[in-house]
Structures are given as C-alpha cells and as structure tokens.
Structure 1
C-alpha cells in the first residue's frame, strides 16, 4: 500500500492468536470469515473492517477492539 494510503492502524491478530493457542483456520471457522480475509487483516493489508466482523473477532478472541487494533507509532 503506498504511504499516502496507510491508515497508521495495525492489528495484533497474530499475537492474540498465539496467546490463545489458536490458528487462523480455527478463528475462521468460529467467526465465519474466510482464511484469506483474516490473513489480509493479520498482515495489515486490510483497508477497512466491518463492525460486525470486529465484534465477532473480539468475541472469539475474548478481547476488546483496542486489543486487536493499534495505532502504529511508526506512521
């Protein structure tokens, strides 16, 4: 993504998955979002996220939105 399009928001999805001993495939089955779309989110290539998806992820990972989405200090 070109720098002018970066939002400065990054995800902690990888860290949360590791902390919960969960795989992306398992999370995909729980929340009903494809592995490909979760991978895009995990690798900080997503340009948007629906509140319903964010809510489902937070429920599945037992976290708050602020635990999942962070402001990147580098941007």
Structure 2
C-alpha cells in the first residue's frame, strides 16, 4: 500500500485553531469568509482531513492573512 492510500495519520498538522485564536476569529466567521462549511473546516482543524483543494487552501490563507506554511506544518513525533 502506498502512503497516499494509507488510512493513518498524514504527518501534517493543521494550525487552524492557533491561527484563529491569534486573530480573534471564529470558525463560523472563517466559514462565511471562505465559503466552506463549518463541518469541513472542523475536519481540517482537527487533523482529520485527507485532502484539501488548492482553492480552499488559498481562500483560508487570504482570510487569515497567512502563508500556507503558517497553516500546514509537519507533525512532530
């Protein structure tokens, strides 16, 4: 089985929770700004996402005024 087919952790951590807290923004407000459901943002925030569209990633980064590397980092063991 290749890593792309693995059902385990991706090794990528999403810092959405931290970035929202730093900016005083709620998940609900981010959802409104980027046009992505709260449920899908919650999946991303809790590191349960298996994939993310570039358009979604770009929209989140624009709304949070951050770079992709600020949002997604390699998870440390």
Question: 1:66 corresponds to which residue?
Answer: 69
**How has the CA–CA distance of structure 1 residues 4 and 34 changed in structure 2, closer, same or farther, with 3 Å as cutoff?**
closer
Question: 2:23 corresponds to which residue?
Answer: 20
How many residues in Structure 1 have an aligned counterpart in Structure 2? 72
- What 5-or-longer segments of structure 2 have no aligned partner? 1-5
The list of structure 1 runs, each at least 4 consecutive aligned residues, that deviate by more than 4 angstroms after superposition, is none
The answer to whether the aligner puts 1:32 opposite 2:35 as a matched pair is yes
Cα distance in 1, alignment partners of residues 35 and 7 from structure 2: 32
RMSD over aligned CA atoms reads 1.2
- What 5-or-longer segments of structure 1 have no aligned partner? none
**How has the CA–CA distance of structure 1 residues 43 and 29 changed in structure 2, closer, same or farther, with 3 Å as cutoff?**
same
TM-score by length of 1: 0.92
Cα distance in 2, alignment partners of residues 29 and 61 from structure 1: 13
The answer to whether the aligner puts 1:48 opposite 2:51 as a matched pair is yes
